[in-house]
């Protein structure tokens, strides 16, 4: 009974408030954020996300849609780095758009990221689209550090595309010394396996050593 009386008293008090008072509304001034404020906020958020995710700033500049590869010739992988990037990467080829592609295929392991480019010779990938280069952590092949744009492999005899190097990269670095290792076996486009006759290290390790056997890509890699 006391509760009901209290409710009725509250209703009575509210009913006694003049309509002119009820109609009063309060408006607080709003200030639109400036473009400078938005930029600072975006930069701060981007830095926080990168720090929280441990993301790498490695950027693969070639191959790409315009910097395609050609069968049976030397093709170049180029990239850029920034402070805080890993010192070593392993390189592989994937093709997520081709269900018949039995990859990923290992190209090289423990490549110095500071090299900024890597030459691959006698590429025997099947002519097609949707290929991508991936950089992965050499000690954890499930951690992808960078992925290139999709690129095509053109038939032998096609004019070679120009390579897009990262700013500050010199083409001469392609032939500098590296401590990278490569797979010792390659697989041609028909699936048969053969030994490399290039200068790759004989004691190289395959990315598949910690998992089920993964076929190596049909390439020869210039030793660095």
Q: What residue spans define the domains of the chain?
A: 56-221
pTM given for the model:
0.56
What pLDDT sits at residue 17? 62
What tokens appear for 135 in the block?
């950089």
Give pLDDT tens digits along the chain (224 positions). Answer: 555 555 555 555 556 666 655 555 545 455 566 665 555 555 455 444 444 444 558 999 999 999 999 999 999 999 999 999 999 999 999 999 998 888 899 999 999 999 999 999 888 899 999 999 999 999 999 999 999 999 999 999 999 999 999 987 655 444 344 445 444 334 333 332 222 332 222 223 333 333 333 444 444 444 44
CA distances from 102 to 21, 91, 206 (A): 76, 16, 16
Sign of CA dihedral 195, 198, 199, 204: negative
What pLDDT sits at residue 108? 95
DSSP-H helix ranges across the chain: 2-15, 19-22, 35-53
Determine whether 160 is exposed, middle or buried from the number of CB atoms within 10 Å of its CB (0-12, 13-18, 19+): middle
What pLDDT sits at residue 32? 62
Measure the CA–CA gap between 122 and 213, rounded to whole angstroms.
23
- Judge: domain 56-221, CATH 1.10.260.40: no
Asked whether the beta carbons of 111 and 91 are under 8 A apart, the reply is: yes
- Which residues 6+ apart lie within 8 Å of 152 measured at CB? 65, 68, 69, 128, 129, 130, 131
Measure the CA–CA gap between 62 and 118, rounded to whole angstroms.
10
What pLDDT sits at residue 11? 57
What pLDDT sits at residue 100? 86
What pLDDT sits at residue 91? 98
Asked whether the beta carbons of 183 and 113 are under 8 A apart, the reply is: no
């Amino acid at each position: 009974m006391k509760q009901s009386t209290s409710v009725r008293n509250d209703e009575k008090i509210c009913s006694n408030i003049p309509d002119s008072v009820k109609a009063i509304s309060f408006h607080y001034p709003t200030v639109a954020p400036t473009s400078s404020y938005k930029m600072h906020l975006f930069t701060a958020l981007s830095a926080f996300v990168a720090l929280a995710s441990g993301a790498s700033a490695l950027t693969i500049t070639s191959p790409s849609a315009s910097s395609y590869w050609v069968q049976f010739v030397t093709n170049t992988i180029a990239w850029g780095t920034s402070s805080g990037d890993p010192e070593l990467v392993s390189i592989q080829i994937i093709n997520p758009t081709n269900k018949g592609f039995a990859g990923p295929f290992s190209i090289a392991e423990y490549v110095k990221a500071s090299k900024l480019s890597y030459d691959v010779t006698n590429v025997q990938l099947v002519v097609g689209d949707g290929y991508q280069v991936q950089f992965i952590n050499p000690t954890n092949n499930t951690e992808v550090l960078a992925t290139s744009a999709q690129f095509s492999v053109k038939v032998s005899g096609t004019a070679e595309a120009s390579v897009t190097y990262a700013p500050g990269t010199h083409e001469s670095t392609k032939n500098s010394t590296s401590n990278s290792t490569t797979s010792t076996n390659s697989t041609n486009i028909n699936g048969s396996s053969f030994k490399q006759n290039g200068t790759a290290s004989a004691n190289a390790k395959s990315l598949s050593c910690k998992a089920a056997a993964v076929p190596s890509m049909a390439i020869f890699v210039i030793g660095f």
